[in-house]
Structures are given as C-alpha cells and as structure tokens.
C-alpha cells in the first residue's frame, strides 16, 4: 500500500508444567486424566490455617532451565501472592514470584530458514503454581476440577524480538525441545504441559510518521498451529483496524483475546490488568530461597548439549541436512542413540537414514522412544556398515531392522537367517546375466537400438536378474556386468 509500511512485534509468555511427582507446595500427586478433584488436599484447596512447603525438585528444574536460557540466576529469591478471584483458584491468590524472580536477562537461539540463527532475549523465568480447570461440557452450568491446582509451572517471558508468526512457532518448538532434553517437562501440549500467550502489536510507518497499535495478548494457546495462526490473524486484524479507525497505543489499554479455533479468529475478552491490580505482596507462609554456589554448580552439572547446538553440530560435522538434524534432535533419546551409533563406527548419514526412516516409524507404532526399543547403538552401527560394503541392500535393511527390534539378534545373524545377504560374486552373477540376455532377445534388441527404449530395456534386464536371484544380487555389480556386455 502506497505510503504505508509496517512490522509485527511479538513477545511470548510460555507456561511450562514441570514433571515433578508432587505439586509445588503440597504432596498431592501430579497425574493427568484422573477422576476430577481426586488429587487434592487442604493445602491446594486453600483451606484456612494450612501451610505450603516448597517442592525442591521444582525449584532445581526451574534453575536448570534458567541456566539453559543463559539467564542470570538469583542467589536470593522470594515468593509473592498474586491476588485475583476466579472460580478455579480456591485461595483467591496464586503463589508466584514478582520482583525477585529466580532467573533474568537471558537469551535463546532459534534456527531460521536461511540456516542462520536469531537470538531471542529472555526477560525472566520464574516459578508459580497452576490454577484448576473450568469445565463447560456438562450442560448449561460450569464445573471445577482442582486436580491441576498447585501444579508447578515455570513461566518464561521473552522480549518482543519476533517479527513473524513463523518465528514465534519456531521459538515455541525450540523451547519444547529444550525442556524435553533437560528432562524437566514432558512438553505434551495435549495434556496442557505447555501453554503459549503471545503479545502482539504493529509498528506502522505512514507518510514518514511512526504509529504503534495497542498490544493484544492471546491467552492459553496449546498447539503450535493455534499459536502460528492466531499471530497471523491478529497481525492482519490490527492492520485493518488501524487503516479503518487510526487506533493507536495511546488510545487504548492492552487487551486480552481468546482464540476461536473453529472460526480461526481472535475474540476480545477483557482489558488487561496491570501489576498493581494483582496487589502483589510477599508470601508470609514461605521463607525466601537462598541458593548457595555449591548448590548452583550441582544443578549446572546436569546441563547437556542443547538441541539447537546439537542440530547445528550435526549439520557442520556430519554434513546432514538441516531437516534430518532437526528430526534427530526432536527427542534427546534419539539424538543420544545416534551419537552412540556413530561413535561405534556407523557412517553418520547411513545411521541417520536408518533411524529417521525406519527406527522412528517403529518407535511411533510401539508408542515409545527410539531409546526404549530392543536395540543397541552398536548393532545399528553394524547394520549401517553392512549397507556401506554392499553386504545387504538398503531395502533389505528394513526387515533386518524390524527383526533386530523384535528378537534382539545381531544384524549379521538376521541377514543370514532371512537370506538377505547380497550376491556379489562376479562370476556367478555373469552366468545369470548371460541367461537373462538369452531369454530376452527383444529387450536386448531395444538396448542396442538406443533412445528411450534403451534405458527402459536396461532396467527391465536388471529387474530380471534381481528376480532370478530373489533380490539377493548386488545391483551395482549386476549393472557393471550389463554395462560391460551391452556397451
């Protein structure tokens, strides 16, 4: 549009449910899908006179994520009450962290389509407890399930450093990979383990003057698809609103919107509260947390090579495609298995193909990870080596891989048992080639005539040899013999 240019600005708030066995401030079990209100106690129900006790593992998990996000870790932090009334919050306040979060001023690198990375700044990552869940499916009334109340949540807040819905989605995917690699969360969005809240507005330049549209926060998105589509929709909606009304940031407060997944539109919910509306004050029932240097170093020792760094290493060191490296690093168990197989002597690209094309398919069918299959990395390296030296064909590796998982036997044994070892004896194969040429004079004539028929006829003759050897002939050796005889 003449005279108008704009840029979308997005910051993201991410709530990550930590995979502790018990809740943040009581001993109730954290278990998904249980009978409503069956995993509650006086503490998480907010009964008078009860006292919370901090879950040490949840705090350590949060510090571990803070370290992975390159944050400054606070050696002293406290708890605060965030007061608001909502049916699924029985205490009428949430225990959170306000002015002294446990980690601040970090960053995370996300991959771009160009193959480069972009740094997204992290404002803070702090611990809090989750609220319950409102249910609206039983009739013309609502129900409350408080099983989730008190579940430990890590809230990660970014600077508004993203400039497209695709970048927002990439950051969300990267954070999911990170928390799974660290083992601090399952990151299963269908179970509510990760929820996203993008804050979106536009910087519009019109006739040389810069305008900013009011910020919109979209609440409780639980899929990458919804996250990306809602940002795209809101970008266009704000642009249309500005062009129609001229509405800018100075004319309205920040608002929260919901996402209607069926209509794929955002819906206004309310004007956003400011910090003073929550009446924060220090939690009187919990002591501050003082992190010693020794404790911090013990947590730091649990850090592993993070997925984005491992992905880039696979591309650079092993010359894998960015896509293949991304598939391998989607789960830590898969990446670890790949590394161990390569260390055992497997050719990296061959091991990658076996894992991504066969291993992950089998694991998905069994509902487990690659690391849980009945398979040793050393055995996979041997299977890759057998393909490299033409002992077996690429297609034969699939049934051998499947049999390895089912039986636990080594690939050499299974290749013999399944009669899948390739015939590479030139003398033996030459006799079979001669027989095929004698039996197929028309194909032989088509080869010598040249043109399109020649290529097709060569393929036919190769297929006939493979058929006679029941697929055991080495196609490379057969092709060389055919080329020598046919010219």
What would the two tokens of residue 283 be?
């939690």
- Determine the Cα–Cα distance for residues 123 and 108; give it in Å rounded to an integer: 11
What would the two tokens of residue 206 be?
């019109």
Which domains, and CATH codes, for the chain?
15-197+272-295 (no CATH), 307-417 (no CATH), 426-486 (1.10.10.410)
Segment 27-46 mean pLDDT: 94
Instruction: Please enumerate in sequence order all residues whose Cβ is within 8 A of that of 37, keeping only pairs 6 or more positions apart, or say none.
Output: 144, 145, 146, 147
CA dihedral 264, 269, 270, 272 (to 10 degrees): -50
Do the beta carbons of residue 121 and residue 104 sit within 8 Å?
no
- Determine the Cα–Cα distance for residues 169 and 387; give it in Å rounded to an integer: 38
pLDDT value of residue 266: 95
Segment 426-437 mean pLDDT: 70
Instruction: Please enumerate in sequence order all residues whose Cβ is within 8 A of that of 205, keeping only pairs 6 or more positions apart, or say none.
Output: 4, 5, 6, 211
pLDDT value of residue 36: 94
Please tell me which residue, 479 or 249, carries the higher pLDDT value. 249
**pLDDT tens readout for residues 230-253:** 999 999 999 999 999 888 887 777
**pLDDT tens readout for residues 382-405:** 999 999 888 888 888 999 999 999
pLDDT at residue 432 is higher than 80 = no
- Determine the Cα–Cα distance for residues 129 and 464; give it in Å rounded to an integer: 68
pTM value is 0.84
pLDDT value of residue 251: 72
Element spanning 479, H or E: helix 475-486
Q: In 3D, which of 15, 102, 153, 91 has the Cα closest to residue 284?
A: 91
pLDDT value of residue 184: 97
Going by pLDDT thresholds of 50, 70 and 90, the confidence category of residue 437 is: confident
Cα atoms found within 13 Å of the Cα of residue 51, Cβ hemisphere only = 5
- Give me the helices (H) in 156-253, please: 165-182, 224-245
Going by pLDDT thresholds of 50, 70 and 90, the confidence category of residue 424 is: low
Average pLDDT, the chain: 90
DSSP string covering 181-209: HHTS----GGGTSEEEEEEEEEEEEETTE
**pLDDT tens readout for residues 81-99:** 999 888 899 999 999 999 9
pLDDT value of residue 119: 96
- Write the CA distances from 229 to 16, 29, 204, 212, integer angstroms: 21, 35, 21, 22
What would the two tokens of residue 22 be?
């018990």
- Determine the Cα–Cα distance for residues 439 and 313; give it in Å rounded to an integer: 53
Element spanning 269, H or E: strand 265-271
Q: In 3D, which of 393, 324, 401 has the Cα closest to residue 359?
A: 401
Q: In 3D, which of 254, 285, 287, 248 has the Cα closest to residue 271?
A: 254
Give the CA radius of gyration of the chain. 30
The size of the chain, in residues, is 487
């Amino acid at each position: 549009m003449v005279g108008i240019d704009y840029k979308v600005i997005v910051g993201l708030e991410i709530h990550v449910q930590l995979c502790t066995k018990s809740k943040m401030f009581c001993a109730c079990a954290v278990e998904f899908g249980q009978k409503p209100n069956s995993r509650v106690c006086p503490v998480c129900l907010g009964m008078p006179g009860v006292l919370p006790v901090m879950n040490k593992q949840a705090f350590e998990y949060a510090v571990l994520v803070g370290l992975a996000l390159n944050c400054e870790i606070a050696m002293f932090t406290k708890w605060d009450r965030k007061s608001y009334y909502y049916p699924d919050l029985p205490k009428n306040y949430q225990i959170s962290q306000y002015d002294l979060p446990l980690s601040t001023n970090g960053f995370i690198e996300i991959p771009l389509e160009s193959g480069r990375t972009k740094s997204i700044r992290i404002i803070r990552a702090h611990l809090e407890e989750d609220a319950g869940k409102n249910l609206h499916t039983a009739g013309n009334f609502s129900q409350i399930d408080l099983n989730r109340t008190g579940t430990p949540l890590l809230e990660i807040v970014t600077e508004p450093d993203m400039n497209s819905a695709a970048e927002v989605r990439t950051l969300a995917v990267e954070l999911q990979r990170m928390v799974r690699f660290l083992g601090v969360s399952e990151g299963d969005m269908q179970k509510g383990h990760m929820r996203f809240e993008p804050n979106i507005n536009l910087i519009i330049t019109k006739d040389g003057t810069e305008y900013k549209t009011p910020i919109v926060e979209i609440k409780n998105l639980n899929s990458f698809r919804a996250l990306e589509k809602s940002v795209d929709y809101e970008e266009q909606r704000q642009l249309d609103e500005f062009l129609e009304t001229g509405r800018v940031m100075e004319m309205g407060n920040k608002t929260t919107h919901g996402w209607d997944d069926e209509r794929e539109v955002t819906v206004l919910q309310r004007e956003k509260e400011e910090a003073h509306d929550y009446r924060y004050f220090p939690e009187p029932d919990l002591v501050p947390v003082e992190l010693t240097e020794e404790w911090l170093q013990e947590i730091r020792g649990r850090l592993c090579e993070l997925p984005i760094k491992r992905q880039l290493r696979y591309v650079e060191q092993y010359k894998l495609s960015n896509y293949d490296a991304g598939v391998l690093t989607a789960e830590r168990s898969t990446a670890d298995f790949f590394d161990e197989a390569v260390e055992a002597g497997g050719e990296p690209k061959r091991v990658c193909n076996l894992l991504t094309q066969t291993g992950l398919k089998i694991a998905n069918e069994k509902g487990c990870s690659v690391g849980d299959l009945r398979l040793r990395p050393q055995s996979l390296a041997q299977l890759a080596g057998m393909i490299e030296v033409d002992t077996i064909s690429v297609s034969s590796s699939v049934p051998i891989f499947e049999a390895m998982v089912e039986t636990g036997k080594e690939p050499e044994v299974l290749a013999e048992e399944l009669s899948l070892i390739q015939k590479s004896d030139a003398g033996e194969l030459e006799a079979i080639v001669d027989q095929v040429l004698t039996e197929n004079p028309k194909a032989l004539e088509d080869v010598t005539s040249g043109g399109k028929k020649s290529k097709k006829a060569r393929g036919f003759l190769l297929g006939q040899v493979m058929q006679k050897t029941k697929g055991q002939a080495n196609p490379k050796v057969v092709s060389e013999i055919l080329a020598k005889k046919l010219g």
